[in-house]
């Protein structure tokens, strides 16, 4: 490697949203790597940094000259490049033009097809300084921006208005102009501690110069410093409740973190713990503190962006704001507690679920009816299930949840009341947990009744939103229906409830029909149920791919069954069966059966067959074996003992092999051909009750 240097680029701007900072940094790092690789410009490492006021890159070991470029192009054969009179054809002239040289400058080489034109050129690498302005501009323009804006007379967009631009390659300024700003060697320190410009002589000075002016540009170092200071501040007797997303967000709010300890009145500890934590985390960006027994304390940790000469003044200001927030929360809580949770049900009539789908009160009525219908079949307490479903959304009308939406379900569990303490505990858990799972890997509700309410909530959303055409498209899923589908699958699998999705979705549709206007009833039909089932099926396929081969999944999902628990059990049994030596033979014979039946689709169509119509010994043996084994297999499938059923199906290997070796299926005699095809079709239908083995891959594949 030749001479190398260090490049530092900094975009100085107005405050960047904290939640976007990591993705911006990563996107720019990826973009600069792409443009450097495209021009064969080598480097040792790239560091990306971000603060509220700047986005920066440091490229270490950047070559001062691009690598030598070798261009080699294979041209047309001579008989295509020249005609019989040795005059250049359009093909030959076109190749020369593509290479940027005359036809005479091209070489002729031998190839397996004959002599042909050939172009070879070595281009010396350009100096890096000549390229950097264009590369920097390209790397910024091709960054994907989740949010962008324009300001002033600028046409180029960015996340926030840009105020300065720094670009230094060792000591040399890279002359690039972006957003109407000429890059230079000037940056700026902390907004309050050092607002004056900082002139850098060398790119090596960048981090140290900023640190001297109260800016820790490396966000990873900044985050570690916040974490370490919080731990040391509270001592060994207490611990800070550190939420990773909050820590990342706070890191993006400060350039010079100063960690301080604040307190609030212990009287507020009478409020539900979740309320206190919500106020601290989501309203104030504070970190709660608890003792070794996980008991919440009347204290918090705050991270300031100013190193004040009077830290107590900063703490006092934050404590006043915190107390004001807690006073509001206490007021809302006391006001809500004056009424039972059922009091809020009537108010749900004023909260729209979706403008075409009615109110949350309508949804509560549907969920109550569905819970009543399903509870009995699942052997659950019908009354408790009905109450849990009816009250699940009631707290959305409470003052507390209106102010703190993240407490939905949680506040309902505090407001619920019942004369029977056991029933009250079940209702509290169901209302609190029915929003789970909130994401793919989130924990499931603990109780069965909470799982039922969660399941009905998601099925109701799927049917309702699909009925008005609001299904997810591409990467857009504003109503989180993909997560809802995964939730349905996980709950059914975890609880092992014997519910077929077609029947479950049909029940949901019937409840919707009861509420729908005459013009809307037609939307809730078999086509809608099948559409939602196909959507669930795709999610089931993706979910199962985490621990099962895709061919096993495809083979089972080809079955005409919408019982997710049964489908999962089939996959498990088939995956185990796939490890046996006989599996390959079963797959091969099934593929052969399917190929034969596909070529003759109209000649059998599940026609009955008669034993006396069979002629050959091998086909009679196969027919006898089918008649003998079919009742046993169907009995095992009905009992969901798929392992036993597969063992019985495996016994068809030998009679099937003999059948194909000794019997001409497509006989010249129509009646005999029809009988043999019908026999194979009946056997195929029996195999399909477990899986479509023709879609499974053998072990070699």
CA-CA distance, 54 to 28, in Å (whole number)? 13
Q: Does 4-66+127-212 match 342-546 in CATH topology?
A: no
CA-CA distance, 629 to 620, in Å (whole number)? 14
Q: Confidence class of residue 418 from pLDDT cuts 50, 70 and 90?
A: low
pLDDT over 50 (residue 56): yes
pLDDT of residue 700: 42
Is residue 648 within 8 A of residue 632, CB to CB? The reply is yes
pLDDT over 80 (residue 455): yes
Is residue 593 within 8 A of residue 582, CB to CB? The reply is no
pLDDT average, residue stretch 378-382: 93
Q: Confidence class of residue 664 from pLDDT cuts 50, 70 and 90?
A: confident
pLDDT of residue 701: 47
Bigger pLDDT: 402 vs 679: 402
Least confident window among 119-123, 141-145, 332-336, 575-579:
119-123
Is residue 391 within 8 A of residue 345, CB to CB? The reply is yes
What is the Cα Rg of the chain in Å?
Answer: 35
Q: Confidence class of residue 7 from pLDDT cuts 50, 70 and 90?
A: very high
Instruction: Provide the mean pLDDT of the chain.
Output: 91
Bigger pLDDT: 560 vs 636: 636
> Which tokens is 113 given?
């097809």
pLDDT of residue 673: 82
Topology of the domain covering 4-66+127-212: Alpha-Beta Plaits (3.30.70)
Per-domain residue ranges for the chain? Answer: 4-66+127-212, 69-123, 219-328, 342-546, 564-695
pLDDT of residue 419: 63
3-state SS class at 238? strand
pLDDT average, residue stretch 566-570: 94
pLDDT average, residue stretch 425-435: 94
pLDDT over 80 (residue 243): yes
Whole-angstrom CA distances from 345 to 27, 387, 411 are: 47, 12, 14
pLDDT of residue 676: 84
3-state SS class at 415? helix
pLDDT average, residue stretch 339-364: 93
pLDDT in tens, 249-280: 999 999 999 999 999 999 999 999 999 999 99
The DSSP symbol for 15 reads P
Q: CB-based burial of residue 20 (10 Å sphere; 0-12 exposed, 13-18 middle, 19+ buried)?
A: middle
Task: Tell me phi and psi for residue 517, to 5 degrees.
Answer: -70, 165
How do 54-63 and 45-51 pair as beta strands?
Answer: antiparallel
pLDDT average, residue stretch 15-25: 95
Is residue 387 within 8 A of residue 420, CB to CB? The reply is no
Percent of the chain whose pLDDT exceeds 90:
67
Task: Tell me phi and psi for residue 122, to 5 degrees.
Answer: -105, 125
pLDDT over 50 (residue 41): yes
Is residue 182 within 8 A of residue 173, CB to CB? The reply is no
> Which tokens is 294 given?
């996980």
pLDDT average, residue stretch 430-437: 95
Q: Confidence class of residue 559 from pLDDT cuts 50, 70 and 90?
A: confident
**How many CA atoms within 13 Å lie on the side-chain side of 27?**
15
pLDDT average, residue stretch 303-325: 96
Q: Confidence class of residue 615 from pLDDT cuts 50, 70 and 90?
A: confident
Look up the CATH number of domain 564-695: 1.10.730
* pTM, two decimal places: 0.83
**How many CA atoms within 13 Å lie on the side-chain side of 162?**
24
> Which tokens is 203 given?
């790119």
3-state SS class at 253? coil
CATH number for the 342-546 domain, one of 1.10.150, 1.10.3210, 2.30.240, 3.30.1490? 1.10.3210
Question: Which candidate, 153, 172, 184, 175, places its Cα nearest to that of 10?
Answer: 184
CA-CA distance, 692 to 331, in Å (whole number)? 62
């Amino acid at each position: 490697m030749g001479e190398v240097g260090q490049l530092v680029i900094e975009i100085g701007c107005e405050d960047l949203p904290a939640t976007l900072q990591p993705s911006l940094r990563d996107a720019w790092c990826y973009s600069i790597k792409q443009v450097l690789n495209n021009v064969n410009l080598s480097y040792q490492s790239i560091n990306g940094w971000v603060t509220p006021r700047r986005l920066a890159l440091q490229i270490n070991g950047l070559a001062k000259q691009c690598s030598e470029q070798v261009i080699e192009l294979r041209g047309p054969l001579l008989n295509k490049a020249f005609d019989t009179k040795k005059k250049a054809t359009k093909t030959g002239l076109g190749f020369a033009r593509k290479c940027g040289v005359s036809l005479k400058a091209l070489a002729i080489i031998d190839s397996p097809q004959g002599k042909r034109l050939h172009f070879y050129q070595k281009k010396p690498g350009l100096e890096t300084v000549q390229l950097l302005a264009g590369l920097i501009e390209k790397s910024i323009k091709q960054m994907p921006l989740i949010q962008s804006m324009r300001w002033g007379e600028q046409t180029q967009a960015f996340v926030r208005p840009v105020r300065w631009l720094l670009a230094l390659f060792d000591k040399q300024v890279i002359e690039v102009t972006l957003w109407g700003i000429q890059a230079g060697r000037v940056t700026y320190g902390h907004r309050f501690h050092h607002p004056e410009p900082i002139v850098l002589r060398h790119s090596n000075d960048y981090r140290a110069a900023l640190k001297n002016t109260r800016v820790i540009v490396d966000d990873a170092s900044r985050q570690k410093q916040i974490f370490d200071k919080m731990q040391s501040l509270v001592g060994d007797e207490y611990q800070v409740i550190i939420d990773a997303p909050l820590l990342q967000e706070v890191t993006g709010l400060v350039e010079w973190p100063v960690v301080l300890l604040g307190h609030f009145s212990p009287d507020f500890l009478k409020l539900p713990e979740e309320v206190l934590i919500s106020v601290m985390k989501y309203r104030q960006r504070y970190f709660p503190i608890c003792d070794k027994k996980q008991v919440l304390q009347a204290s918090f940790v705050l991270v300031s962006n100013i190193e004040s000469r009077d830290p107590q003044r900063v703490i006092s200001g934050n404590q006043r704001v915190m107390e004001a927030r807690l006073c509001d929360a206490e007021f809302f809580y006391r006001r809500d507690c004056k009424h039972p949770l059922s009091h809020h049900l009537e108010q749900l009539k004023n909260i729209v679920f979706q403008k075409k789908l009615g109110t949350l009160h309508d949804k509560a009525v549907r969920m109550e009816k569905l819970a009543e219908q399903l509870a009995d079949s699942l052997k659950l307490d019908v009354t408790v299930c009905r109450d849990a479903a009816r009250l699940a959304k009631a707290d959305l009308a409470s003052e507390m949840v209106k102010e703190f939406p993240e407490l939905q379900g949680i506040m309902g569990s505090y407001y619920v009341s019942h004369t029977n303490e056991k029933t009250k505990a079940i209702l509290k858990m169901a209302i609190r947990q029915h929003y789970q799972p909130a994401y793919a890997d989130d924990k499931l509700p603990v109780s069965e009744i909470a799982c039922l309410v969660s399941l009905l909530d998601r099925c109701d959303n799927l049917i309702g939103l699909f009925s008005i055409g609001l299904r997810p498209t591409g990467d857009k899923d504003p109503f989180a229906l993909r997560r809802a589908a995964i939730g349905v699958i996980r709950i059914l699998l975890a609880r092992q409830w014997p519910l077929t999705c077609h029947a479950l979705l049909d029940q949901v549709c019937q409840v919707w029909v009861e509420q729908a206007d005459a013009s809307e009833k037609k939307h809730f039909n078999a086509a809608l149920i099948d559409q939602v089932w196909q959507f669930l099926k795709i999610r089931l396929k993706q979910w199962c791919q985490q621990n099962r081969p895709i061919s096993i999944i495809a083979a089972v999902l080809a079955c005409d069954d919408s019982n997710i628990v049964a489908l999962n059990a089939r996959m498990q049994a088939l995956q185990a069966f796939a490890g046996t030596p006989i599996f390959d033979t079963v797959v091969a014979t099934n593929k052969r059966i399917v190929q034969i039946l596909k070529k003759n689709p109209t000649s059998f169509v599940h026609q009955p067959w008669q034993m006396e119509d069979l002629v050959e010994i091998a086909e009679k043996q196969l027919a006898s074996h089918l008649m003998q084994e079919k009742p046993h297999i169907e009995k095992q499938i009905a009992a969901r003992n798929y392992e036993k059923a597969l063992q019985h199906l495996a016994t068809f290997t030998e009679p099937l092999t003999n059948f194909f070796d000794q019997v001409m299926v497509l006989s010249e005699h129509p009646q005999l051909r029809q009988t043999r095809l019908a026999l194979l079709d009946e056997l195929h239908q029996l195999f399909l009750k477990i899986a479509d083995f023709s879609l499974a891959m053998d072990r070699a594949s």
